[in-house]
Amino acid sequence: MAQTKAASRLRQMLADSEQLVVCPGVHDGLTARMALHVGFDALYMTGAGTAASRLGQPDLGLTTVDDMANNAGMIAGLDRSVPVIADADTGFGGPLMVARATEKYILQGVAAFHLEDQVTTKRCGHLLGKELVDTGTYVARIRAAAEARRRMESDIVIIARTDALQSLGYEEAVNRLKAAVAAGADVAFLEGMRTKEQMAQVVKDLTPTPCFLNMVGGGVTPLINAAEAKALGYSIVIWPMAGLTSVYLGMREICRELKETGEIKERHTADGQVDGGVRDVFELCGLSACGEFDKKMGGTSFAYKC
Ligand SMILES: C[C@](O)(C(=O)O)[C@H](CC(=O)O)C(=O)O
C-alpha cells in the first residue's frame, strides 16, 4: 500500500510548527462539499455526526466500523488532496478489531483517525458518566493500530484520545496520552478539558507531540478561536458540530416556515440570484465537472447543457 497523498500532506502540516490545522466537522457529502468549497486545508469527519446523519441516533457507540469507515472514505474521495481526519471511537473492539478498523480507514484514504480509551459502549466525550478501559487495554488498541499501519506500509496519522480527565483526573489522563504516544500514536487529544489552564498545560506536558483540540458547541470545554489555539501551541483544532449545527438550525427554520406558511420562500443573494436552490446544491456537488468529464471521455449523455 503506497503512502497516501492526504496523509503525507497532513504530516507536512504537522511538521510545520507555525501551522494550525483548522477543521470543520462534516458528516456527509453535502457538508463536506460546502467545507471544501469554502477552502479548508483539512476536514474532520465527526462520529457524532455520522451517528446522527446515517442512523438518526445520538453519539452512544451505535455506529459500526463500516458505517464510520465508509462515511469517512466517501468524504475523503471528494477531494483526495484535502486530508480527512476521522473519528474511530474505541476502535470497535479488541486489538484484532482495531487492526481491521485501521486497515479499513487506510483503504478508504483517510489521512488520520482518533482512538479513545472509553469502553465500547461509549458516549460523546462531553456527556457525563463515561467509563474507561484500563491503560493496558487502551495501549493495546494503539499498538494494534500502529502495527496495522506498519503492515499496510501506510503513513496514516494515529491520534490518541483519552477521556480519562472526567473520572481519573489530569495527571492520569496525561500519563495515558504519553503511554499511547510511546505505543505509536503521533498526536495527543485530551478530551473534555474544562479550563483554559488545562488547555495550555497539556500542550506543554506533551511536548514535542502535536496536540489536538476539540471545540464542541454546547460541550464542557471553553471555546477559543484559532488565533488563541495557535498561541497555546495546538497543531489541530476541530469544530465537530459545524455541519450538525448548520443542519439543525437551517432545517428547523425551513421546516417551520413550510409548516406555518404552507410554502418555502426562495432565498436570494445580494445581487438578486436564488441562493441555495437546486442548481446551487448540484453545482456544489460537481454538476459542471461531471458533465465536462463525461464529454471529455467521449460520453454523450450529458453533452447537452444540464
Ligand atoms: C469529537 C466527537 O467525538 C465527534 O464525534 O465529533 C464528539 C463531539 C460531539 O459529540 O459533538 C466528542 O467530543 O466526543
Candidates 27, 71, 89, 163; catalytic one: 89
Q: Quote the ligand 1 centre to 59 CA distance (angstroms).
A: 8
The b-or-e profile of 164-184 (16+ CB within 10 A means b, else e) is bbbebebeebbebbbbbbebb
> CA 204 to CA 190: how far, in whole Å?
13
Task: Name the residue of 60, 84, 87, 193 to mutate for ligand 1: max ligand atoms within 8 A of Cβ.
Answer: 87
- Start-to-end CA distance of the chain, whole Å, equals 39
In the residue annotation, 67 being an active-site residue is answered as no
Give the per-residue pLDDT at 165.
Answer: 98
As given in the structure block, the three cell numbers for residue 15 are 511538521
Q: Please, what's the largest Cα pairwise distance for the chain?
A: 64
Asked whether this complex has an ipTM greater than 0.90, the answer is yes
Q: Quote the ligand 1 centre to 208 CA distance (angstroms).
A: 25
Q: Quote the ligand 1 centre to 23 CA distance (angstroms).
A: 13
Give the per-residue pLDDT at 306.
Answer: 67
> CA 116 to CA 241: how far, in whole Å?
19
Q: What is the DSSP letter of 132?
A: B
> CA 42 to CA 35: how far, in whole Å?
9
Domains by residue range for the chain, with CATH = 5-247 (3.20.20.60), 266-306 (no CATH)
CA angle 89, 190, 66 (to 5 degrees): 10
Confidence of residue 4 (pLDDT cuts 50, 70, 90): confident
Alpha helices in 45-88 (DSSP H): 47-50, 65-76
Strand partners, 112: 85, 157
Asked if 140 contacts 94 with a C-beta cutoff of 8 angstroms, the reply is yes
In the residue annotation, 66 being an active-site residue is answered as no
Give the per-residue pLDDT at 3.
Answer: 62
State mean pLDDT over 128-147.
98
Candidates 59, 163, 186, 205; catalytic one: 59
> CA 162 to CA 172: how far, in whole Å?
10
Give the per-residue pLDDT at 301.
Answer: 87
Q: Which whole-number Å values give the CA distances from 65 to 7, 50, 52, 62, 111, in the listed order?
A: 20, 11, 15, 10, 16
Q: Quote the ligand 1 centre to 219 CA distance (angstroms).
A: 9
Give the per-residue pLDDT at 159.
Answer: 99
Give the per-residue pLDDT at 111.
Answer: 98
Place of cell 441516533: 57
Asked if 258 contacts 252 with a C-beta cutoff of 8 angstroms, the reply is no
CA-nearest residue for atom 6, ligand 1, is: 46
Q: Quote the ligand 1 centre to 68 CA distance (angstroms).
A: 13
SS3 237: strand
> Has residue 2 got a pLDDT over 90?
no
Candidates 116, 155, 186, 205; catalytic one: 116
Q: How many CB atoms lie within 10 A of CB 34?
A: 18
Strand partners, 114: 87, 159
Task: Name the residue of 31, 159, 216, 241 to mutate for ligand 1: max ligand atoms within 8 A of Cβ.
Answer: 216
> CA 80 to CA 109: how far, in whole Å?
8
Tens of pLDDT, residue by residue over 138-181, are 999 999 999 999 999 999 999 999 999 999 999 999 999 999 99
Tell me: cis bond preceding 208? Omega within 30 of 0 counts.
yes
Tell me the whole-structure pTM to 2 decimals.
Answer: 0.97
Q: In the structure, which protein residues have their CB atom closer than 6 angstroms to any atom of ligand 1?
A: 25, 46-48, 59, 87, 124-126, 191, 214, 216, 240-241
Q: What is the DSSP letter of 265?
A: P
- Please count the CA atoms within 13 angstroms of the CA of 248 that sit on its side-chain side: 10
Alpha helices in 156-298 (DSSP H): 165-168, 170-182, 196-206, 226-232, 242-261, 278-284, 287-296
Query: 96 CB contacts (<8 Å, ≥6 apart)?
Result: 144
Asked if 206 contacts 232 with a C-beta cutoff of 8 angstroms, the reply is no
Tens of pLDDT, residue by residue over 68-111, are 999 999 999 999 999 999 999 999 999 999 999 999 999 999 99
